[in-house]
Every structure is written in structure tokens, then in C-alpha cells.
A and B are shown apart, each in its own frame.
Chain A
Amino acid sequence: MNLVVLMRMVPDVVEELEIASDQKSLDQEALRLIVSESDDHALEEALLLKERHGGAVTVVAPEAPEAAELLYTAAAKGADRVIQLRGIQRGLGVAAMAEACAAALSAIPGLLPADLVLTGTQSIEDLDGLVAPLVARRLGWPYLGVVTAVSDVSNGAVIVVKEFQAGYRGEFQVSLPAVLGVQAAEKPPRYVPVAKVRAAMKATKIEEFEAPQPAPEPLQELAIVALAKPEAAGHAEMLEGSVEDVAGKLCELLAERGLL
């Protein structure tokens, strides 16, 4: 199978997010970027499919600080080809970026035709769109999101499991080629020893590709009024003291409600 995985860097919420003084973006100084979690799952699913069905996995990432590490790690995990897209702005909002990535995918030599483009089903900064359906529409391919398993590749179609609600899932048949938004891979993303990543840094060539011009401006269709830290409609009454103190207070509260 010829598999393409689109992976991006997004702000790492382990760090405190600060808002820039103009209130219309995040303070870049305070930011650290990390691979979007469900993109990691998309890569894992692609690698599992390659292990089962053979073929090749190509990872494509828009340029960003630490994106090179993302690509070397993907190579160390088993990606055959890793490509960095230049000229695409990273930031709040993804619609423009997704369009540019889709255009790039069509233009990168030897990339298409592919069977599947996999990417995360969502990211934490998808203000104005989701990447997977936008790429699908640009390529003219079918799309399905919230995917948790891919199997049974045959007769130009693939069986895909999607999550619904209340623990229900659905089995869908999707014609190939298609774009899938992966919620969770069938196994958690694998660990790769650092030595292997360091070896990949020496052995792997990251291909650089200039995204087709002009690079679209992010968030052209939405005017940002302001960013803010959520002002809670309410806030919990905080219980202080040692764990024993708190345990006692909680028991009182529960008893008051007849729960004890």
C-alpha cells in the first residue's frame, strides 16, 4: 500500500499558554511545539498497515521548529520517505494550511497516486476547519474521520472502523484512494529508542519541498476578536488542607447529600 501521513506540530499544552499583548494570538516566546497527538496515531496506523500489507509510508510535515525531529523520529519508526513542506505558515487555524498541504501533496514528485492519506482526526487548534476533510475535498477523494481501525484492503476499497457514541462504533467501506482522520491507532504509538532516532538523523535525508505559491494567509475568513483564558462560568469551591482533612470534609459533603 502506498500510504501518506500528514503530521503537524501544535502548541504543547504542558507548558503554560500565554496570550500575546495584541490578544489575537498566542505568545510565541512561551510556546513549545509538539506533534499533534492524533497525528502520531495516524502514523502508527500507517506503520501497522505497512507491516500487514507491505508498501511504503511517506510522512509529510509543514515546516515548524522541531518538525525535523518529528520527521527523523518517523523515519526511525519505519517511514520510508520524509518530507518537509516549506512556505506554509503555522499557527492558529488550519484551513489555509490544509489547502496548501493538499496542493503540495498533488505536486510532490512520486507521492501520488497513493491508497490512503492519513492524518489526525483533529488537533487542538482547529479553529476554522479540520485538516482531513479539507485535504480530501482538494484531492477529490472520499473522507471519514474518528477512525480507530483500518482493515480488509481489497477491490479498491478499505474497511474502516469509526467511533460513534456510548461505546458504539461503525464499520464503513471506503473506496480508495481516501483520506482518513485517525482518532486512535489500533495500538498506542510505538516507542523508538533514541539511538535509532540519532541514527536516522545521520542516515535519513529530509526532502524539502516548497509549497505551491502563493502561501495562503491563515484565518482570512475569520476576524479574531480576542483570545482569553476561559473565565469560568463558575469555579469549584476548593477544599484545602491535608488529604486527611479533605477526606473528612468530603465525607461531610457526601453525608449532607445522603450519598454516604
Chain B
Amino acid sequence: MAADIWVVADQWQGRLTDITFEALALGREVADALKVPLEAVLLGHGCASLAEELGCADVVISVEHPALAEPVPETHAQALAELARQRQPRAILIPATNTTWGANTLLAALLDVPGVNFAVDLKAVDGALEARCVLYGGKIEVRVQPRKEPVVIGLWPGARPADQGRSERKPCIEQASVSLAAEPKVRLKRYIEPEAGEVDLTRQDILIAVGRGIQSKDNLELAEELAQALGGEICGSRPVVDQGWLPLSRQIGKSGLTVKPKLYLALGISGAPEHVEGMKDSAMIVAVNTDPHAPIFNIAHYGVVADALELAPALAEAVRARKG
């Protein structure tokens, strides 16, 4: 029985995503600790050339099938289940993105094995696998060990730096095949492009981000004034967009943009994982929140326990005074 560590590659618009490389970096560490091979699994149709980029793994299991052309989690889970039954890996790491959402749970159910969600780390402890998961909006960590294997792990962004998972090495590529239902019951009809925002937030040096703590659409003005004073743009977390205070094109986080500006000023944002994944690599993160225990303070460089509605205008004034 093999005991390999698997990393399932996640793709977006024909390219491998950063989280795939993060997962490879993590998988490499665990595989090395257990002295077993690391294998990457690449599913798709017409994407076999991406296998070359997965050199961090020892082997790439490349599966081509027309039904895998569309990003349908249950189809991908079925393919993975078939492969896993044949090859019996020890752990299967699936990047938890919107694209794959639900696939890890389905795979675990198909194999009748444990599934683990919200994992941010994985390690070998005395030969056993131990995952660290973050729950309750980032407020509680749970360490778990599966009682049965393989274990399917939904890996959250940020476990390791993506660059650690990139490699010039050419992996050994194995073609594999799966049999899938001819008529999937879930079909992608088309992509809906984001509404053209006037500004590309991913190219901004300075972003002022607003969250629930801004309390009302009215108070956006305060953030806008600050953005103007600093020469930046405003953006927001999910709740602010859901309420209609900002358009979807300004959402940062899981369903929105990933940004890495020189300054990310988070006003009234608690720091739930879904948001943090979109901005954690910013060069300088300043967080303002009335709750001293807000998870955002764990990833920010500078923090202020204060009402964003008071600090924003004070800061705008100080900036304007300084700029003259």
C-alpha cells in the first residue's frame, strides 16, 4: 500500500494558482518528514503542459478527460476518488478555493474517510499526521489527527509561501485515466466577468479597506477622504459589498481580489480568514478595530484599538497637514 502525500493542483483561467504552490511547499515538508513521495494530481482537459510547473512534487499524476474541462467540484471529486482507490495515498491536500469548494468533502465521503476543513498547517507528529485548523471566524484553532487514512485535507491559503513550492525541477509525469459519467448534472455555461471597475486595485500602492466596523454606507466618505489624502483607493471586505455599499469589483478576499499593496489600511475589519487571504502579503498592514482581540491584529504590522470612524478623519487631517 502506497503512503504518498498528494497535492491536487488548483487552476484558474488556464494557470496554476498560488495556493497550489503553497500546498506543494507544505506537502513537500510532510512527505520528507515521513520519507514518502510527494505526488501532484493534475486534472483537466488540454492542460497537461501545466505538469511541468509542478516539479516540487516527485511525480505528477496527469489526468485528461473532457468532463474535467469544467470546474465542477463533484466531477473532480469523482475522478480523485477513482485514482485514490487505485493508488491509496496517505493524505490528499486540496486547496480550498471557491473553484474547488465542496470537492474535499465529497471526496472524503466517496472514500468513506475523514475530511478536514480550514486547515492552515499539516505535520507529522511521531509518524502520525496532524492538521491545524482555524475555525469560528479565526478565533479558535483546533489540532486534529485522523483516525483513518487516507485523510482529505481542505487547505486554506497562506500555509507556506508560494515560492517555496515552485521548482525548476522537471517532475516525473504519469498519465492516468478515469471513467466519468457522460452527462454531468452540473455544467458550467459561462463565466461572468466582473463589472469593469474604473480602477485596477491590484496595481494600487495604497489601499484603504473598510469592513463592518464602518457601520453604514454614509461613513464610506470618511474612508474616501482618507484615501484621497493618501493618494490611494478604497476597497472592502465581503459584508460591505453584500450590503451594497461598495461594488463587487472592490471586494478583497476569497471571492474577490488578492492584493499586495505597499500599504493596506484596514478600517473596522475583524480579520476573518476569507478576507485575510486576499491581503496578507501586503507590505505594510495597519489595522484599526475597536476589538483588541480582533484576529486582524495577528497579521497586521501595526494596530490601533480605536473607532475607525474617529481615526480616519484624524489621520486624513494629519496627512493633509503634512503634505502641506
Contact = CB atoms under 8 A, between A and B. Distances in A.
A230 to B, nearest CB: 5
A229 B139 CA distance: 6
A222 B147 contact: yes
Interface in B188-246: 188-195, 197, 205-206, 230, 242-243
A143 B141 contact: no
Contacts of A26: 140
Contact of A172 (B145, B188, B206, B310): B188
Contact of A178 (B138, B140, B185, B317): B185
Given A164-B99, A227-B142, A243-B311, A183 B136 contact: no
B306 to A, nearest CB: 6
A121 B97 CA distance: 13
A142 B192 contact: no
B106 interface: yes
A203 interface: no
Nearest to A18: B140
Chain B interface residue count: which class? 35 or more
B189 A163 contact: no
B194 A222 contact: no
A247 to B, nearest CB: 4
Given A165-B99, A170-B188, A170-B191, A230 B298 contact: yes
Given A127-B142, A168-B192, A133 B116 contact: no
Contacts of A222: 114, 116, 144-147
Given A173-B187, A257-B284, A168 B303 contact: no
A165 B12 contact: yes
B118 A247 contact: no
A250 B315 contact: yes
A192 interface: no
A132 interface: yes
A159 B192 CA distance: 13
Contacts of B191: 164, 168-171
A20 B101 CA distance: 31
A199 interface: no
A92 interface: yes
B115 A95 contact: yes
A196 interface: no
Contact of A127 (B133, B147, B295): B133
B116 A259 contact: no
Interface string A236-257: 1111000110111011011101
B102 A133 contact: yes
A57 interface: no
A244 B195 CA distance: 38
B305 interface: yes
27 contacts: A11-B136, A124-B137, A129-B108, A129-B115, A145-B101, A146-B255, A159-B189, A165-B254, A166-B258, A167-B255, A169-B194, A170-B188, A170-B192, A171-B188, A172-B189, A181-B101, A183-B255, A220-B147, A222-B145, A225-B143, A232-B297, A235-B298, A243-B314, A247-B317, A250-B302, A251-B318, A259-B206
